[in-house]
Chains A and B, each alone.
Chain A
Amino acid sequence: MTDVHAPANNRRPAGHSPHTHSRARRILSRLALLAGAFAFLFPFYYMLVGSLQREPDSSPAGAFPRPGNLSLHNYAEINSAISLGRSLINSGIFTGGVIVCTTVFGLLAGYALARLHFRGKGSTFALVLLVQVVPFQLLMIPLYVLIVRDYGLADSYIGIILPFAINTSAVFIFRQFFLQLPQAMFEAARIDGAGELQILFRIAIPLCKPALASVVLLSFTGPWNEFLWPFLVTKEQDMQPLAVSLANYISTVSSAAANPFGAILAGACVLAAPAVALYLVFQSRFTSTDLDSATKG
């Protein structure tokens, strides 16, 4: 049957369902998918083309690049306005700090919650669940008061990193991953007299690469794209991550510029590129099995 709803691996060759009918439907569903892909990808294409045009052209013809109109002028312009290098370094430190803290402490917590029995495990897990439902908007004011006012951490990397340092979703991913590993492996090591630290360093950590990949992607995109919190904490342009300095350019500087879109789009490309590139690399490296099941049917 050529049922569009059935999971890919349960499908069988076309049977007694009416062929012409289901073919028409299949074409319809393909068209919907293509229209969707166009709607999702076109803005990115337009972002890139617009950033390379000396004079951004908003007419339909402007969607197709003309060699005469292409230049890197917009990138130079946004660089002189917000100092791309400095902003990228700030974004990198913010993101790097979050990745390191999340990986180290998230792995420890996820491993313990999955594989160890200790007092307080149940309540720890309940707390992890509670954190997931506390929305950031409720914490915005108290965190600002504590971090910026009481601890004086405005315009500092620690102040930017702190509320994001350990990502709770990463704790979940690590826990889920370690739960899947066979219990026998851990029991055997314990019977052989291995200590818990030895088991962690010799068995658990070497095995956790697949979970690490999704954790790194998750803890990269979160802080790299974050706007609200670093916007609240940083007033000095020297300390602002790229998302904040570009947003400030959009909301203030651009109104004074004659044709601001070229520079905005150039900044947007620089901000978007690392996250998209990282996702594409991870996507091709870690979902190849997915691809197989889709192509073999």
Chain B
Amino acid sequence: MSSTHHDVLRPGSARGGARPRTDRGQRPRRSRFAGRQPIGLAFVSPYLLYLAAIFLYPLGFAVWISFHDYFFAAPGAQVDRPFVGFANYTSVLTDPDVWRSFGNIAVFLVINVPLTVAASLVLATALNSKLRARTFFRTAYYVPYITASVAVVGVWLFLFNSNGLVNKALGPLAPDPSWLVNSHLAMPTIALFVAWKQLGFFIVLYLSALQNVPGELYESAALDGAGKARMFWSITVPAVRTATLLVLVLATVTGANLFTEPYLLTSGGGPDGATTSPVLLMYQRGLQQGHPDEAAAIGVILVVLITGISLVYRRWLERD
């Protein structure tokens, strides 16, 4: 490194003057370049190498695949994979199955996201009070979240099949065809399942936001004669707006990642493709049918859409 730059800067500069005394001599010069504890770089380097190999490189590779004619070849074989521009994107975007899967996920999000936000905020508000069994309730709500999807899918299959407990309890009101084999009800049932499974996490998120709402706000509102509902809408809801944005974005991203539930609950996206999610389609197209280039294009489109939706949420919540 060049030391002249530092020598010129140091004497007169305000920054140099404000620095502690130890900043003088041979050591500080190295420290200005490498930092005061350059060993820190050694501490983070395994993690940085890992990120480069497992995230950054595959991220770029995904985009690269989506612009090339990519196919699986025998390991070590030299094959030509020509650049094809937007060809993968056009073939994906003219495919009705792809549109169907995006429509399916839209149905999922329209049901799942508002349900998640409303239920987790209401339950978190109820939990955020003096309550004898508070820990019991919080634990109860969190248990589905820490349990494997595959395990709880087993119970839901048992509960919601044609002869399951839910239909037996509903008696003549039971839908026909039953929940998971009914093309109108299958996706809403999956949306309900995911909301139920994830709710505990979002409740904890809202609980920590509620801890930061100053109690005086409620006290002065009570003095002004505001009712509980009024307080909820004009104090609680605006005060946890940042948490709401996080819940909206995370619930949407979780929904866009949907794979296990349609794969198992509705045996691979049935009935008649009514629950095929984009990620399930990526698996079928990319890995089962051997078109990783089209699958990568679906992935890129999905991520662009999710980013767009997240920006809309942000504008909407920061509007006033």
Given A118-B35, A127-B51, A265-B158, is A143 in contact with B58 using a C-beta cutoff of 8 Å? yes
Is B109 engaged at the interface, CB distance under 8 Å to the other chain? no
Contact check, A108 vs B47: say whether CB atoms are below 8 A apart: yes
List, in ascending order, chain A residues with CB within 8 A of B39's CB: 116, 118, 196-197
Is B3 engaged at the interface, CB distance under 8 Å to the other chain? no
List, in ascending order, chain A residues with CB within 8 A of B83's CB: none
Contact check, A232 vs B287: say whether CB atoms are below 8 A apart: yes
Determine the distance from Cα of A37 to Cα of B35 in the docked complex, in whole angstroms: 52
Contact check, A8 vs B259: say whether CB atoms are below 8 A apart: no
CB distance from A285 to the nearest CB of B (A): 12
Is A99 engaged at the interface, CB distance under 8 Å to the other chain? no
Contact check, A279 vs B143: say whether CB atoms are below 8 A apart: yes
Determine the distance from Cα of A275 to Cα of B165 in the docked complex, in whole angstroms: 26
Contact check, A227 vs B150: say whether CB atoms are below 8 A apart: yes
Within 8 A of B (CB), among A111-150: 111-113, 116-121, 124, 127-128, 131, 134-146, 149-150
Contact check, A283 vs B135: say whether CB atoms are below 8 A apart: yes
Contact check, A8 vs B169: say whether CB atoms are below 8 A apart: no
Is B302 engaged at the interface, CB distance under 8 Å to the other chain? yes
Within 8 A of B (CB), among A246-282: 246-247, 250-251, 261, 264-265, 267-269, 271-272, 275-276, 279-280
Determine the distance from Cα of A133 to Cα of B149 in the docked complex, in whole angstroms: 22
Contact check, A134 vs B43: say whether CB atoms are below 8 A apart: no
Is B274 engaged at the interface, CB distance under 8 Å to the other chain? no
List, in ascending order, chain A residues with CB within 8 A of B36's CB: 116-118
Interface size on B, residues (CB 8 A): 106
**Complex: chain B residue closest to A163, CB-CB:** B54
**Complex: chain A residue closest to B221, CB-CB:** A3
Chain B at the A interface: SS class: helix
Within 8 A of B (CB), among A169-228: 171, 196-197, 200, 217, 221, 224-225, 227-228
Determine the distance from Cα of A121 to Cα of B36 in the docked complex, in whole angstroms: 11
Contact check, A251 vs B268: say whether CB atoms are below 8 A apart: yes
Determine the distance from Cα of A140 to Cα of B277 in the docked complex, in whole angstroms: 14
**Complex: chain B residue closest to A199, CB-CB:** B37
Q: Mark A25-68, 1 if CB is under 8 A from B, else 0.
A: 10001101100110111011011001000001011101100000
Contact check, B58 vs A131: say whether CB atoms are below 8 A apart: no
Given A7-B210, A141-B62, A196-B37, is A37 in contact with B150 using a C-beta cutoff of 8 Å? no
Partner of B256, one of A119, A135, A251, A268: A135
List, in ascending order, chain A residues with CB within 8 A of B268's CB: 251
Partner of B44, one of A108, A145, A162: A108
Is B86 engaged at the interface, CB distance under 8 Å to the other chain? no
Contact check, B62 vs A32: say whether CB atoms are below 8 A apart: no
Contact check, A268 vs B151: say whether CB atoms are below 8 A apart: yes
Interface size on A, residues (CB 8 A): 104
Contact check, A5 vs B236: say whether CB atoms are below 8 A apart: yes
Contact check, A3 vs B228: say whether CB atoms are below 8 A apart: yes
Is A294 engaged at the interface, CB distance under 8 Å to the other chain? yes
Contact check, B123 vs A32: say whether CB atoms are below 8 A apart: yes
Chain A at the B interface: SS class: helix
Contact check, B135 vs A225: say whether CB atoms are below 8 A apart: no
Given A62-B165, A116-B39, A118-B40, is A137 in contact with B256 using a C-beta cutoff of 8 Å? yes
Contact check, B129 vs A5: say whether CB atoms are below 8 A apart: yes
List, in ascending order, chain B residues with CB within 8 A of A152's CB: 75
Is A295 engaged at the interface, CB distance under 8 Å to the other chain? yes
Is B175 engaged at the interface, CB distance under 8 Å to the other chain? no
Contact check, A149 vs B72: say whether CB atoms are below 8 A apart: yes
Determine the distance from Cα of A276 to Cα of B142 in the docked complex, in whole angstroms: 10
Partner of B35, one of A6, A117, A295: A117
Contact check, B47 vs A134: say whether CB atoms are below 8 A apart: no
Contact check, B154 vs A7: say whether CB atoms are below 8 A apart: no
Contact check, B158 vs A56: say whether CB atoms are below 8 A apart: yes
List, in ascending order, chain B residues with CB within 8 A of A165's CB: 50, 54
Contact check, B154 vs A267: say whether CB atoms are below 8 A apart: yes
Contact check, B303 vs A279: say whether CB atoms are below 8 A apart: no
Determine the distance from Cα of A247 to Cα of B264 in the docked complex, in whole angstroms: 7
Contact check, A247 vs B44: say whether CB atoms are below 8 A apart: no
Contact check, A280 vs B139: say whether CB atoms are below 8 A apart: yes
Is A1 engaged at the interface, CB distance under 8 Å to the other chain? yes
List, in ascending order, chain B residues with CB within 8 A of A39's CB: 196
Determine the distance from Cα of A33 to Cα of B134 in the docked complex, in whole angstroms: 10
Determine the distance from Cα of A228 to Cα of B210 in the docked complex, in whole angstroms: 34
**Complex: chain A residue closest to B210, CB-CB:** A7
Is B211 engaged at the interface, CB distance under 8 Å to the other chain? yes
Contact check, A276 vs B143: say whether CB atoms are below 8 A apart: yes
Is B248 engaged at the interface, CB distance under 8 Å to the other chain? no
Is B156 engaged at the interface, CB distance under 8 Å to the other chain? yes
Given contacts A127-B48, A142-B61, 4 further A-B contacts (CB under 8 A): A10-B215, A56-B158, A119-B38, A227-B150
Residues of B whose CB lies within 8 Å of any CB of A are 31, 33-41, 43-44, 46-48, 50-51, 54-59, 61-62, 65, 72, 75, 122-123, 125-132, 134-137, 139-144, 146-159, 161, 163-165, 168-169, 196, 199-200, 210-211, 213, 215, 218-219, 222, 228, 231-232, 235-236, 253, 256-257, 259-260, 263-264, 267-268, 278-279, 282-283, 286-287, 292, 295-296, 299-300, 302-303, 306
A-B contact pairs, 10 of them (CB 8 A): A5-B231, A7-B211, A7-B215, A118-B38, A118-B40, A145-B65, A264-B157, A265-B154, A283-B139, A297-B130
